[in-house]
Amino acid sequence: MYFILTYIFSFGLGLIFHDQFLLGALTMYLGFLQTYFIAYGKWYEEFLGMLGTIVSSILCSLSGMYATAIFSLLVYIPLSIFSMVNWKKNANKNEVILNEMTVKKSTIILTCIVSATLLVSFLLSLIPTQHLAVLDTAGDILNISGIILIALRYKEGWLVWVLGSIVDLVTWILVYLNHFSNNAIMMIIMSAAYIFLNLWGYLSFIKLRKKQKASLKLA
């Protein structure tokens, strides 16, 4: 039922808002599917992630959001492959075994996110046709960080994705207001939906971790 409802929702909105080539609708639907399988700890979700990444990079290139397009092709796909291999290697009956986060690791991650955002946004601001360099970069750095954390089997990756979705929401609202893209409305809706989906994913990982701890105690 989830797959049918998200399909109708994604492509229905794409048709209503005249989504260009339905790229936004396809990106949204693939994102819904991937989020569902990640939340249940299934390693094969990355096949959907790689397909969604390719579609998203095309959409963002057409919208002048070059940071996302570049990161999608050069970073997201290699990370997706790494994530798939690592999850499969650390899975029990196709269900990934989660890790625990520490304060030290959290501090290092936060420092890296801020530093990378400042550096990449500065470089992108040198491109004349680049729109919203800081927000564009911040959203991608957060999303990449979330991918890395999820690939390494940390539930906190979902919280980083929530922040990334909030930044993406603000970015696409500004894109819409400035008439940078015909796909902006679809991306606004998708970013808003991802905020709630990522919160759901985080809660699912909490339940999964509790179940795994209980299994270890019984063993």
| CA dist., res. 178 & res. 9, Å (int) | 26
Domain parsing of the chain, residue ranges: 2-218
> What integer pLDDT is reported at residue 184 of this predicted model?
82
Considering the entire predicted model, what is its pTM? 0.76
Tens of pLDDT, residues 4-30: 999 998 899 888 888 777 888 888 898
Tens of pLDDT, residues 29-88: 988 888 888 887 776 777 888 888 888 888 888 877 776 687 778 887 888 888 878 877
Tens of pLDDT, residues 113-137: 999 999 988 887 887 777 777 888 8
Instruction: State in Å, rounded, how far the first CA of the chain is from the last one.
Output: 36
User: Mean pLDDT over residues 202-214, rounded?
Assistant: 85
Q: Identify the band that residue 180 occupies on the pLDDT scale cut at 50, 70 and 90.
A: confident
CA atoms lying within 13 Å on the CB side of residue 177: 7
| CA dist., res. 143 & res. 58, Å (int) | 17
DSSP state of 20: G
Q: Are 161 and 143 in contact (CB under 8 A)?
A: yes
| CA dist., res. 22 & res. 202, Å (int) | 29
| CA dist., res. 43 & res. 82, Å (int) | 11
